[in-house]
Amino acid sequence: MSRIGTKPIEIPEKVTVKSKDGLVEVIGPLGSLKQEIQPEIKVEIKDLKVVVKRIGDSKRAKSLHGLTRSLIANMILGVTKGWEKSLEIQGTGYRVKLEGDTLVFSVGFSHPVEIKPVAGIKFEVKGEREIKVSGIDKVLVGNIAAKIRKIKKPDAYKGKGIRYQGEKIKLKPGKAGKTGAAAGLEK
């Protein structure tokens, strides 16, 4: 029995949840989101709560039970508060600027790299090194943030590149960090 899947989801004020024909739609103050529901899962709305139930006890139904509940809960949070991911740029000469609604990165390539926002995504730049990606769809916000990070992943030796806010990078020791030669223990 899924512990997460059995928990009912409270529907806050100003949010409407509709479920019919394998589609759940959540409408709130920030916008609306739709999610397709698999046939092994049944979504019921009663007493200002969303209850997710599974049809049958197959392995697939059990695995979709908690996932579907989490997706619907994330949709409700998205249309009420929204989602955001923060990224930071590390490295000498690395910077980002916002031109209109497009992000322009200078991260050590011979050309600037541009990222245009997708519908439902907003970019915000603080200084030259901090980026905030926000929107109502958690999956889309995470995918765009991952796409931005992929432009220049953090270097394993110096830590230069684009990383998530607060992400710790384990740096590798360089040539001088090897044991033996660095300690003067050559034969």
Enumerate the β-bridge partners of residue 53: 42
Closest to 106 (Cα-Cα) out of 84, 121, 125: 125
> Where do the DSSP E strands lie in 37-120?
41-46, 49-54, 83-90, 95-99, 102-106, 113-115
pLDDT in tens, 116-174: 999 999 999 999 899 999 999 999 999 999 999 999 999 999 989 999 999 999 999 88
C-alpha distances out from residue 162 to 73, 126, 135, 150, 153, Å: 30, 14, 20, 8, 6
The confidence score (pLDDT) of residue 2 equals 65
Is residue 185's pLDDT more than 60? no
Q: Are 17 and 11 in contact (CB under 8 A)?
A: yes
Assign 180 a pLDDT band (cuts: 50, 70, 90).
low
- The domains found in the chain, sorted by start residue, are 9-80 (3.90.930.12), 83-164 (3.90.930.12)
Query: Stretch 86-101: mean pLDDT, rounded?
Result: 93
- Residues 16-65 pLDDT 10s: 999 988 899 999 999 999 999 999 999 999 889 999 999 988 899 988 99
The pTM of the full predicted model, rounded to 2 decimals, is: 0.84
